[in-house]
Amino acid sequence: MNNLGLSVRVAGRTVEATDICSFELVEVNGRALPAFSAGSHIDVQAADGVVRQYSLCNDPKETHRYLIAVLKDANTRGGSKAMHEQVKVGDVLSISTPKNHFPLAHEAKRSLLLAGGIGVTPILCMAERLAVAGADFEMHYCTRSPDRMAFRQRIAAAPYAPRVQLHFDDGDAAQKLDITALLRAPQPGVHLYVCGPKGFMDAVLSTARAQGWPEAQLHYEFFGAEVVKSADDASFEVKLASSGKVVVVPKDKTVVQALAAAGVEVQTSCEQGVCGTCLTRVLEGVPDHKDMYLTPEEQAANDQFTPCCSRSKTPVLVLDL
């Protein structure tokens, strides 16, 4: 197993909803864990060679534990299945220290928090933080059905419960989230946060952009999704600026895989274009972006890309490696 930096013991596991289990992690020797801010995630070694990112969903004030929740995904690539089927109370797991790619904008006058399914994990943490800070916010939490809604009791018992609206796909039309109405009028100082399955996030973000929300007021974190392969994916070359070395990236290999075969390691984590760990500067050429990490503006600048999944539109990409 890799050592991701911290060893934790599974102190508890709880079925939170259909196919969702939470895991309470404590430091192996009972010491305080590194502090984290709302929106943070940790890398977890879910099984041999399988590292996955999970958002922390406990109160950021707590230092005695981290709480994560894992959806057993039918399309899993191994991480969620291992967590659900193999990880037991008492097991020791290797995890990273918390990282935050989805922080709250502290200058926000008001925050709109939108969670779809398991995407509630960072959003819940944000709601708790905003409530403690006395900030103005509204949270919407959508799931397919009530039995798939994790943390419902926790939300109902929270002081901020009146700020939360629950929506179910299988419920009556009146309670469904009307994204267009909710996002109709972007206001200065109002920030939107969204986390959930890709379809949900695409619907929210495309509606917000169509209604004129400035990119700086949109905050989102995608969960791992299959990287879209296209019939046009072709072979190309990457050139390393430091050495001039040229590496061919075959049609069926990622840039990271081709570089590794040539003895050049690029640090990765999600390998799905969601975490940004592998972000690499592009000095020449035009990347074919397939990630969900960079904003549309950052992608359009074409001066960086995620080599774990993105490819090239030009025959050669010169990388700052």
Give min distance, CB of 96 to ligand FES, in A. Answer: 13
Examine residue 269 and tell whether it contacts ligand FES (CB under 6 A). yes
Give min distance, CB of 307 to ligand FES, in A. Answer: 7
Residues 281-300 that bind ligand FES (CB under 6 A): 291, 293
Residue 263, both tokens? 């003895």
> Residue 193's beta-bridge partner residues?
113, 219
Instruction: Identify which of 98, 126, 93 has the alpha carbon closest to the alpha carbon of residue 110.
Output: 126
Neighbours of 39 (CB within 10 A): 25
Is the CB of residue 157 less than 8 Å from the CB of residue 151? Answer: no
Examine residue 276 and tell whether it contacts ligand FES (CB under 6 A). yes
Q: Which helix (H) or strand (E) holds 82?
A: helix 79-85
Burial class (CB in 10 A: 0-12, 13-18, 19+), 30: exposed
Q: Which stretch binds ligand FES (CB under 6 A): 28-36, 93-101, 166-174, 272-280?
A: 272-280
Examine residue 275 and tell whether it contacts ligand FES (CB under 6 A). yes
Instruction: Identify which of 165, 244, 180 has the alpha carbon closest to the alpha carbon of residue 212.
Output: 180
Q: Which stretch binds ligand FES (CB under 6 A): 22-30, 95-103, 105-113, 262-270?
A: 262-270
Give min distance, CB of 312 to ligand FES, in A. Answer: 15
Examine residue 306 and tell whether it contacts ligand FES (CB under 6 A). yes
Examine residue 278 and tell whether it contacts ligand FES (CB under 6 A). yes
Say whether 125 sits in a helix, a strand or coil.
helix
Nearer to ligand FES, 102 or 151 (CB): 102
Is the CB of residue 78 less than 8 Å from the CB of residue 70? Answer: no
Q: How many CA atoms lie within 13 A of 22 on its CB side?
A: 20
Burial class (CB in 10 A: 0-12, 13-18, 19+), 160: middle
Give min distance, CB of 135 to ligand FES, in A. Answer: 30
Q: Which stretch binds ligand FES (CB under 6 A): 17-25, 183-191, 237-245, 270-278?
A: 270-278
Nearer to ligand FES, 70 or 270 (CB): 270
Is the CB of residue 75 less than 8 Å from the CB of residue 81? Answer: no
Nearer to ligand FES, 168 or 220 (CB): 220
Total binding residues for ligand FES by CB under 6 A?
Answer: 14
Among positions 68, 247, 270, 294, the unique one binding ligand FES when judged by CB under 6 A: 270
What DSSP character marks residue 163? G
Q: What does the radius of gyration of the chain's CA atoms come to, in whole angstroms?
A: 20
| Nearest residue to the partner ligand FES, using Cβ | 308
User: What's the distance, Cα to Cα, between the start and end of the chain in Å?
Assistant: 27
Among positions 111, 268, 280, 299, the unique one binding ligand FES when judged by CB under 6 A: 268
Examine residue 254 and tell whether it contacts ligand FES (CB under 6 A). no
Examine residue 273 and tell whether it contacts ligand FES (CB under 6 A). yes
Examine residue 277 and tell whether it contacts ligand FES (CB under 6 A). yes
Q: Where along the sequence are the contacts to ligand FES (CB under 6 A)?
A: 268-271, 273-278, 291, 293, 306, 308
